[in-house]
C-alpha cells in the first residue's frame, strides 16, 4: 500500500511538473510576443518622427528642437522599460538548464559590451582569477549585466568607474562579489531597492526602468541562492551573490 501510494504521488508530481513547464513556456512566449508587439508601434513612431525631422529640420526653432528631444528620450525610455519587463517576466524561467560557465570570460565580455554601450573609455575592471562554475548561463549573464551596468551608471560626476568582481569558494557554495566606487546607497533603502519599479533617483539623474535589481533577486532566488547588498554613501556599493554548488 505504501509503494502504491508513493507511485501515485510520483505520477501526480510528474503531471504537475509537466503543467508547470508548459505554463513557463507559454509565459515566455507571451512575454516575447507582448514585448515585440509593444516595441513595433514605438519604433514606428520614432521612424516617422525621424522622417519629419529630416524634412523640416531647417524650420525648427529652439522650442521645437527641445520638444523633439523630449519625444526621443521618452521613446528610448519606453524601449528600455519594455526590455526590463521582458527580462523580469523571464527571470524565473530558465534557471534549470545548467552548463559550465567561465566567469572570467563572461564578466570581461559583459564589461566590454556595457562600456561600449555607455561610451565609457575610462572605466576599469578588476577581477581575481574567476573560476568556472556550473549554473544557468542566461541567468548568470543577466545578473552580471544588471549589476555591472549599475556599477558603471551610478557614478559621481567626474569620477572614473571602477568595478571589482571576485569569487570565493567553499564546500557547498560560490560567493560572488561585485564592488564599485559609485554614489552608494543609504542603508535605509537596502530592502526596498529590490522592489519592482522602485527608483531612488529621477530619470534626469539616472535613466532606467527600476526593474534591474528586482530581476536580479528573482534570478538568484530561482537559483536557490541569496543576494545581499552593503554600501557607504558616496564611496561605493557591494552586491554579494551566494549560489549553492549543486
- pLDDT, tens digit (0-9, with 9 covering 90-100), for 20-33: 555 555 555 555 56
DSSP of 191-232, one letter per residue? TGGGSTT--SS-TTTS---S-HHHHHHHHHHHTT-EEEEEEE
Q: What is the pLDDT of residue 80?
A: 67
Residue ranges of the chain whose pLDDT lies below 50: 201-206
Q: What is the pLDDT of residue 179?
A: 94
Q: What is the pLDDT of residue 204?
A: 44
- pLDDT, tens digit (0-9, with 9 covering 90-100), for 102-149: 999 999 999 998 898 888 888 999 998 899 998 888 888 888 988 998
The CATH class that applies to domain 99-244 reads alpha beta
Identify the helix (H) or strand (E) that includes residue 90.
helix 62-90
Q: What is the pLDDT of residue 25?
A: 58
The residue ranges of every structural domain in the chain are 2-90, 99-244
Q: What is the pLDDT of residue 148?
A: 93
Distances (CA, A) of 235 to 69, 143, 152, 163, 239: 33, 22, 14, 13, 14
Amino acid at each position: 500500500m505504501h509503494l502504491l501510494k508513493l507511485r501515485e504521488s510520483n505520477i501526480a508530481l510528474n503531471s504537475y511538473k509537466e503543467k508547470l513547464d508548459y505554463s513557463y513556456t507559454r509565459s515566455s512566449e507571451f512575454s516575447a510576443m507582448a514585448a515585440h508587439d509593444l516595441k513595433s508601434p514605438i519604433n514606428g513612431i520614432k521612424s516617422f518622427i525621424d522622417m519629419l525631422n529630416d524634412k523640416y529640420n531647417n524650420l525648427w526653432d529652439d522650442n521645437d528642437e527641445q520638444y523633439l528631444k523630449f519625444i526621443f528620450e521618452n521613446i528610448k525610455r519606453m524601449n528600455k522599460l519594455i526590455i526590463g519587463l521582458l527580462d523580469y517576466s523571464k527571470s524565473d524561467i530558465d534557471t534549470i538548464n545548467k552548463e559550465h560557465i567561465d566567469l572570467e570570460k563572461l564578466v570581461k565580455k559583459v564589461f566590454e559590451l556595457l562600456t561600449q554601450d555607455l561610451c565609457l573609455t575610462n572605466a576599469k575592471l578588476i577581477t581575481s582569477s574567476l573560476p568556472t562554475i556550473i549554473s544557468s548561463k542566461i541567468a548568470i549573464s543577466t545578473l552580471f549585466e544588471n549589476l555591472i551596468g549599475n556599477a558603471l551608471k551610478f557614478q559621481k560626476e567626474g569620477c572614473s568607474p571602477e568595478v571589482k568582481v571576485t569569487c570565493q569558494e567553499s564546500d557547498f557554495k560560490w560567493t560572488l562579489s561585485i564592488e564599485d566606487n559609485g554614489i552608494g546607497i543609504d542603508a535605509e533603502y537596502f530592502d526596498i531597492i529590490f522592489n519592482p519599479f522602485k527608483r531612488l533617483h529621477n530619470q534626469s539623474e539616472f535613466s532606467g526602468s527600476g526593474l534591474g535589481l528586482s530581476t536580479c533577486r528573482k534570478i538568484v532566488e530561482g537559483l536557490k541562492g541569496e543576494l545581499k547588498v552593503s554600501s557607504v554613501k558616496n564611496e561605493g556599493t557591494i552586491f554579494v551573490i551566494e549560489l549553492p554548488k549543486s
